[in-house]
Structure 1
Amino acid sequence: MDQCLLFLVLLLMGNGLCQQEEVCSKSVINSCDDCIRSGPYCVWCQQLNFTKAGEQEAARCDTQAQLIERGCKREEIVSPKNNLTIVKKDPLSTSFNQQEPVQLSPQKISLRLRPGLSTTFTVSFKRVQGYPVDLYYLMDLSYSMKDDLANVKELGKDLFEALKNITANAQIGFGAFVDKTVLPYTNTNKEKLQKPCDENDQQCQAAFGYRHVLSMTPKEEEFKRKVTEQFISGNLDSPEGSLDAMMQAAVCGDKIGWRNSSTRLIVLTTDAGFHMAGDGKLAGILEPNDEHCHMENNLYTKSIEMDYPSVGQLAMQLEKNNIQPIFAVTKNVEIVYKHLSKMIPKSEVGVLSSDSKNVVQLIESAYNRLSSKVTVTHDNLPDNVRVVYTPKCNHAGPAGDSEGVCDNVHVGQEISFDVTVTADSCMKDKSFTIRPLGIKDTLTVTLSTNCECQCDDPHDSSHPHCNGKGRVTCGICSCSESFVGQFCKCSIGDKDERSLRASCQRQNGTECEGRGDCVCGRCQCHTTVSGSNYHGDFCECDDEHCEKFQNKLCGGHGKCNCDRCECNPGYEGSACQCTVSENACRTLNNTICYGRGTCKCNRCECKEGYQPPLCETCLGCPDLCKTKLNCIECLGFNSGPFKKNCSVACNKSIYPDMVDQFTIQSKQCQQKDTEGCWIKFRLEQLVGEDNYRAEILKQRDCPEPPSVTAIIGGSIVSVALIGIILLMIIKLLIYIKDLKEWRKFENEKKKSKWAEADNPLFQNATTTVSNPTFTGE
């Protein structure tokens, strides 16, 4: 059963039943050009008299199926198509010869595309037998690579034999690097710069950043001689200047000797990590790498003036110059270089043995992996252009919008890629390049768009279809000066055309709401797709966009008029979905929603605050006892703020004598009036929004009035008593103060000591008087 269902699904898909539906999403359409720019499936009918009287010319724009269904002849439909022209297509080469081999075909394509409508073409690729290989051996000559250098000096024969197994046309070059000759990378002591190695090591060359040793050569002996002349050097820190060296090897093509038609390989051998952009700041080097060649006498001259390149800069130059790096590194830095390889397209990582003896096998296997993997991609695309690659090979990667990959491609095997190009907007004469990574061959795609209609218009400038006052352009009239209208029948004379059109705009909006034509200052409304007419002074009404019920306009029980349903007798609701009935709205006293709402579609629509289903209770309403207190006071006791207009203010909501009304609910109240008396009353809520019956107790509970005589007498006694108390308090305070002063005096008196000294002012008498008669007895 499941197999049958699967077969049926595949059959339906094969018959195109699952294809995407063609839709034309129209916006503002005033011409054929506007139409085809609206979407890839929009086409234009240039047939004369295709539109009905008063119908807007935008009706000429739709999908082809819709226009044919509405009566447009197929030959009158304008639909620009995609155009693909192969400008250059040299055949693929089978083997390498002295001429330039061709591995990618075609080489030049010109596309003229309809915006949004994609086109697909096929690109073929074949690996040429015996394609030249240029290998540049770039070696780390820091002191830790001393034993590796001894082995590399013996590699010449094995390396050339391995290359000859790949191609008969191979060349090899050699370069070396250490690091920048400044602190903190290298010891800048004069003696250490000349001999940075261990003191016991006599064969040591001076410190350097990058040195080009041997340009590309097919001679084995020359390679062996040049490598033999090299000696180890040294530096301070562990990371090396390998990115500096690779950048110069990539951009100094004439000095390295890269051939135009060759597979270019850089084999980097090292046992350490690498410095990259920003590390130069440690040595005060702030100038960014400029990605240019700076080699004199085979030495990198800007090593101490220019920062290391970034990984992105290096990757871009390697790709630009079709160079594929092979990182032959020791086990301790394998992870580092695998991460680097992920950021550099078409690169491989191999693990060296401790003495680098396996480097030849490593290079051979890495080259096979690189050359058997074909990756087709593009350079910078123009804005709003999309490219998708679909590989057609045995070991194809998934389709992608950045690249297409075929793996395990053998020499002489032809593979292909379907390239789908889509332009999403109008443009003129843009181009981009498609090429396999690491291969010189390219495909140049020139792209422009087809955004104009090419209509077969008559040359008559006074066409009868335009009332002799204009010419026909793609089926519509282009009126002569001073004439307007669908068929140029309106002469604007001295009146400005803008003012005529303004009278067709509602609140400065769209002319005739986009549903009609402004003819001599009045809207001529179009017909809808179903054949009914738009109407209104500004064509603002139609009879098709009313609310639906059960997928029927106005529920099938009314007529749509200007976007609103006019229901047949016996039906109501916004979509005439309800029969007229009040059964569910009736209350116990046979009222409708207790007089606090309206019954629509047999349901109560309550006024604000009252709650469904029957609007019986009020949520959030204020306390009735407090809100009706003033009316109760004036009606029952002729007092309070409503005393002067009690009948006007209160008789419309409180009916004391209404006894035959249905009571919804009642409430006992006790409130204090404006005179401070307690009033007791009962409120009965009646049918309606603000109707109450009040039962008021005629007696108020008021406090007894105070005794005037007692108040006056009490006041006099209280004042006298308070005066006496105040005098006693004052007397007490004076006594306390005097007592305090007396005690202080007594204390000071006791503490004083009287002196018995002579008075300095006293003088003895100077005259002595004697009584001569005094005998002394």
Structure 2
Amino acid sequence: MRGSLHLPVLIFFMVLHSGHCQECRNAKASNCNECIQAGPLCAWCKDPNFIKRSEPDHMRCDTVYQLENKGCKSNDTVYPKSWQEVKQNLTLSSTKDQVVQLTPQRIKLNLRPGQPENITVTFRHAQGFPIDLYYLMDLSFSMHDDLDNLKGLGQKILEALKDITDAAQIGFGTFVDKTVLPFVNTNPEILKNPCPGKNIPCQEPFGYKHVLSLTSNSSLFKAKVSSQKISGNLDAPEGGLDALMQATVCEHIIGWRNVTRLLLFATDDGFHIAGDGKLGSILTPNDGKCHMQNNYYTNSNVMDYPSVGHLALKLSEHNIQPIFAVTANMLKTYQSLSEIIPKSVVGELSLDSSNIVSLIKSAYNNLSSKVILEHKNLPDGIKVTYRSKCGTEFSKLAARGECDNVKINDTISFTVTVEATKCISPQAFTIHPLGFSEALTVEVETMCNCDCGDHNLNICNNGTFSCGICSCKEGFTGKNCTCNLGEKTTEELKASCRKDNSSSVCSGLGECECGVCNCFSSNIPGQRIYGKFCECDNTKCEMYNEKLCNGHGECDCGNCRCEAGYEGKACECKASYDGCMTARGTKCSGRGYCECNTCKCIANYETHLCESCPSCPSPCRTYAHCIECYYLNSTGNCENQCENITRITMADHLNGAVRCKEKDSQDCFMHFEMVMKDGIEQYDVILQKDRECPKRLSELQIALMTAGSVLLLGLFLLLFGKCLTELNDRAKYRRFEKEMKENSKWIGPENQLFLKATTTVANPMYDGD
């Protein structure tokens, strides 16, 4: 026991101590309000001299522990905490003049988002608390055996209530079902007398009828119940949920007081639920509102039955506790219903309903011994949890408080934890024990703005000082409000501090003042942030031998500036070009650069000295038009057309030449060689011999060749057609001979077409004698 009591205290100190190692994710808060909204651990330093001019304002936002370590004094630290104010707290009492079962009654919470606040709620069940009981009875024909007994129980029911409390009231209502097919027979004659037996006094069916408002007059209650007649319907389930909904929401008609409210529901059958109305072409959903006129439910045939969930919500909102008095065959059905409806009980009704008085007493004791504390009308952004102390120990966190077996004058308590998850406007909600009229009203405000208690400091030229920083007047900006915007907007000035549209202002490492970046001081020793857009620093360069720029250079905006005698991206090599020089005395053939005495070729050039480009397209076709100039132009001005091409003689021929054979614009073949020089796209050209041009035919030769070709084509087509005809004829003749052989029996006299005609006459009168 002692260990369990010390555990919460231990947890508290552990959480308190953990604040030293937890972080405040300030999300670049630019002022105190943004800082305290960034997280429950965030605090703001309002000392104007806490940060340097080049440091960003968001460095003022951190945990209290971190700010004090950085030099912010405790009286300069703004760290609002959640707090509460009890506005009404009547003591628990159960006198005739005043009954108070729940304390406190009204409280105000000032919550900082993320910082929960605990409320201690105490409840003591008082004896003799007023009770309202509304008796809702099923008048379908199956209840006709019970009606006589129930008529005589009116006085006993009220007496049973007065045994519990002196301030009891009782009311009465009845129900059958919707008066449409297939729930009720709509034949006019049957509607007048829906009961099977003609001798039984019977009334027309109805949905729900309110008979008697809540009263303490037992004689009136007895008279109203005694005057009731049975009715009838077709199907077994009844319209009980319709009646329950109207008896719940029509408070002014029923006469509910702000006391313990009980609703006794007596039936021997089941109930229709939402969706069953479609069987009678009733499609409009139940709206959960009061629709009573002249004590009758007017929308019975207009609206569908309510859903069980909707009914449970309305019962909870109106603080009504149902008692289901049902026969044995319906116990399981209504027990399942009771599981969905909080603070409801089910009792077994005897066959003649004579035990209803004892059932009411038992049900009331069950309801009153269970205390459920819950909230309603909870604002968005508020979270509530409960710990129940029914005995000596607290329960686990739960969505509502709950204690069983609570006796009269037993005192129980609940720890209600309320937390704001975001900033909200001032609102209120209630916490109440189900089935009891008393409630705790909780007023909630969130602390999302800082109250720094600033003294007037004249450090803002065109603005006001607040929480250590300047809030500039319209048209001015800057740390001390010294920048006059003029015709420009703040966004236009900030655009001047961006490297491009996609980058952040001053690369996120500086502050834009009047369109100029003032780079922040770095917290990293030796690091310097600089550049027009604060995009540079002196630490982000390549490392070699675990040293920045190998210790032989200076880091400048991501690049190493090597000292004399060193080179490379990390100054890792001593400067030397011996391994990069070609035989012609050029470095890397003019197609790369020398780094660490090794050629780094550009584009697709390869080999040790970038001498060739195997993957490059052949230059022969690319420069064929330039070569044609050398063949056709004797003046030798072709270098002006192709600056990359230089003609050399055979005596100047070099190794590694590419042999080319290309056609020119006159379909002549040109033979030449191309030698790549040092540099990109530079070639020497050697012409091998004169062009090879094809011999051209005369016009007469062309005409004769054309005519001969046409004549030969005609003869070929004629001969080809003759051959096809001959082949076709031969094939048909062979098929004819084959058919003649296969059908030889049709030749000559065997052919039926050539048989002589014969006539046979038989005389029936001639017997052959």
TM-score scaled by structure 1? Answer: 0.67
Matches within 5 A, 1:573-612: 579-580=572-573
Letter in 2 for 1:256: I
After the TM superposition, which of the residue ranges 140-149 and 438-447 deviates more from structure 2? 140-149
Q: Does structure 2 conserve the Cα–Cα contact (< 8 Å) formed by 1:119 and 1:420?
A: yes
Q: Does structure 2 conserve the Cα–Cα contact (< 8 Å) formed by 1:500 and 1:521?
A: no
Match of 1:205 in 2: 203
Match of 1:279 in 2: 277
Letter in 2 for 1:387: V
Match of 1:747 in 2: none
Q: Does structure 1 conserve the Cα–Cα contact (< 8 Å) formed by 2:373 and 2:401?
A: yes
Q: Distance in 2 between matches of 1:179 and 1:316?
A: 22
Letter in 2 for 1:121: I
Q: Distance in 1 between matches of 2:297 and 2:382?
A: 41
Matches within 5 A, 1:314-393: 314-329=311-326, 337=334, 340-341=337-338, 344-349=341-346, 367-393=364-390
Letter in 1 for 2:75: E
Find 1:540's aligned residue among 518, 534, 552: 534
Match of 2:109 in 1: 111
Letter in 1 for 2:459: C
Matched, 1:440 2:437: yes
Q: Does structure 2 conserve the Cα–Cα contact (< 8 Å) formed by 1:610 and 1:617?
A: yes
Find 1:528's aligned residue among 507, 517, 522: 522
Match of 1:138 in 2: 136
Match of 2:70 in 1: 70
Q: Distance in 2 between matches of 1:231 and 1:617?
A: 114
Q: Distance in 2 between matches of 1:603 and 1:165?
A: 108
Find 1:196's aligned residue among 189, 194, 197: 194
Q: Does structure 1 conserve the Cα–Cα contact (< 8 Å) formed by 2:527 and 2:539?
A: no
Match of 2:97 in 1: 99
Matches within 5 A, 1:290-309: 291-292=289-290, 294-296=292-294, 298-304=295-301, 308-309=305-306
Which SS does the other structure have where 2:414 is aligned?
strand
Letter in 2 for 1:43: A
Matched, 1:43 2:43: yes
After the TM superposition, which of the residue ranges 594-603 and 338-347 deviates more from structure 2? 594-603
Q: Does structure 1 conserve the Cα–Cα contact (< 8 Å) formed by 2:510 and 2:534?
A: no
Deviations 1:569-617 (A, max 9, x none): 67866xx5x95599xxx99x99999999889999999977899999999
Q: Does structure 2 conserve the Cα–Cα contact (< 8 Å) formed by 1:329 and 1:351?
A: yes
Q: Does structure 1 conserve the Cα–Cα contact (< 8 Å) formed by 2:273 and 2:307?
A: no
Q: Flag structure 2 segments of 5+ consecutive residues without an equivalent.
A: 1-6, 499-503, 721-769
Alpha-carbon deviation of 1:66? 2.4
Matched, 1:27 2:41: no
Q: Flag the 1:563–1:193 CA change in 2: closer, same or farther, 3 A.
A: farther
Match of 1:232 in 2: 230
After the TM superposition, which of the residue ranges 703-712 and 441-450 deviates more from structure 2? 703-712
Q: Flag the 1:280–1:674 CA change in 2: closer, same or farther, 3 A.
A: same
Match of 1:749 in 2: none
Alpha-carbon deviation of 1:414? 2.8
Alpha-carbon deviation of 1:323? 0.3
Q: Does structure 1 conserve the Cα–Cα contact (< 8 Å) formed by 2:478 and 2:513?
A: yes
Alpha-carbon deviation of 1:195? 0.9
Q: Flag the 1:535–1:369 CA change in 2: closer, same or farther, 3 A.
A: same
Q: Flag the 1:255–1:482 CA change in 2: closer, same or farther, 3 A.
A: closer
Q: Does structure 1 conserve the Cα–Cα contact (< 8 Å) formed by 2:29 and 2:61?
A: no
Matched, 1:86 2:86: yes
Q: Flag the 1:343–1:650 CA change in 2: closer, same or farther, 3 A.
A: farther
Which SS does the other structure have where 1:120 is aligned?
strand
After the TM superposition, which of the residue ranges 681-690 and 101-110 deviates more from structure 2? 681-690
After the TM superposition, which of the residue ranges 545-554 and 358-367 deviates more from structure 2? 545-554
Q: Does structure 1 conserve the Cα–Cα contact (< 8 Å) formed by 2:540 and 2:557?
A: yes
Alpha-carbon deviation of 1:238? 3.8
Alpha-carbon deviation of 1:197? 0.9
Match of 1:750 in 2: none
Letter in 2 for 1:414: T
Which SS does the other structure have where 1:466 is aligned?
coil
Deviations 1:328-383 (A, max 9, x none): 45677667656654554433456667776776676666555544443322222334
Alpha-carbon deviation of 1:106? 1.0
Which SS does the other structure have where 1:193 is aligned?
helix
Deviations 1:98-154 (A, max 9, x none): 334222211111122334433222222233344444333322221233445466557
Q: Flag the 1:343–1:12 CA change in 2: closer, same or farther, 3 A.
A: closer
Match of 2:765 in 1: none
Corresponding pairs, count? 692
Letter in 2 for 1:420: T
Letter in 1 for 2:323: I
Which SS does the other structure have where 1:444 is aligned?
strand
Deviations 1:657-712 (A, max 9, x none): 99877x9xx9x9999999999999999999999999999999x9999999999987
Letter in 1 for 2:109: L
Q: Distance in 1 between matches of 2:419 and 2:677?
A: 75
Q: Distance in 1 between matches of 2:394 and 2:545?
A: 50
Deviations 1:282-325 (A, max 9, x none): 356859656126252x4435544665445555334322221022
Q: Distance in 1 between matches of 2:383 and 2:455?
A: 38
Q: Does structure 2 conserve the Cα–Cα contact (< 8 Å) formed by 1:291 and 1:309?
A: no
Q: Distance in 2 between matches of 1:72 and 1:543?
A: 29
* Identical aligned residues as a percent: 40
Q: Does structure 2 conserve the Cα–Cα contact (< 8 Å) formed by 1:123 and 1:417?
A: yes
Q: Does structure 2 conserve the Cα–Cα contact (< 8 Å) formed by 1:328 and 1:362?
A: yes
Q: Flag the 1:453–1:683 CA change in 2: closer, same or farther, 3 A.
A: same
Match of 1:264 in 2: 262
Q: Distance in 1 between matches of 2:685 and 2:679?
A: 15
Q: Does structure 1 conserve the Cα–Cα contact (< 8 Å) formed by 2:44 and 2:60?
A: yes
After the TM superposition, which of the residue ranges 120-129 and 221-230 deviates more from structure 2? 221-230
Q: Distance in 1 between matches of 2:328 and 2:99?
A: 39
Q: Does structure 2 conserve the Cα–Cα contact (< 8 Å) formed by 1:130 and 1:169?
A: yes
Q: Flag the 1:105–1:649 CA change in 2: closer, same or farther, 3 A.
A: same
Letter in 2 for 1:71: G
Q: Does structure 1 conserve the Cα–Cα contact (< 8 Å) formed by 2:544 and 2:572?
A: no
Alpha-carbon deviation of 1:271? 0.8
Match of 1:123 in 2: 121
How much is the aligned-residue C-alpha RMSD, in angstroms?
A: 6.1
Alpha-carbon deviation of 1:193? 2.0
Which SS does the other structure have where 1:85 is aligned?
strand
Q: Distance in 1 between matches of 2:524 and 2:134?
A: 75
Letter in 1 for 2:521: T
Match of 1:175 in 2: 173
Which SS does the other structure have where 2:84 is aligned?
strand
Q: Flag the 1:685–1:481 CA change in 2: closer, same or farther, 3 A.
A: closer
Q: Does structure 1 conserve the Cα–Cα contact (< 8 Å) formed by 2:260 and 2:435?
A: no
Q: Does structure 2 conserve the Cα–Cα contact (< 8 Å) formed by 1:280 and 1:286?
A: no
Letter in 1 for 2:143: M
Q: Distance in 1 between matches of 2:12 and 2:546?
A: 32
Q: Does structure 2 conserve the Cα–Cα contact (< 8 Å) formed by 1:516 and 1:524?
A: yes
After the TM superposition, which of the residue ranges 678-687 and 251-260 deviates more from structure 2? 678-687
Matches within 5 A, 1:698-737: none
Deviations 1:737-777 (A, max 9, x none): xxxxxxxxxxxxxxxxxxxxxxxxxxxxxxxxxxxxxxxxx
Match of 2:459 in 1: 466
Letter in 1 for 2:412: I
Q: Does structure 2 conserve the Cα–Cα contact (< 8 Å) formed by 1:289 and 1:308?
A: no
Match of 1:507 in 2: 496
Q: Flag the 1:612–1:481 CA change in 2: closer, same or farther, 3 A.
A: same
Q: Flag the 1:281–1:725 CA change in 2: closer, same or farther, 3 A.
A: closer
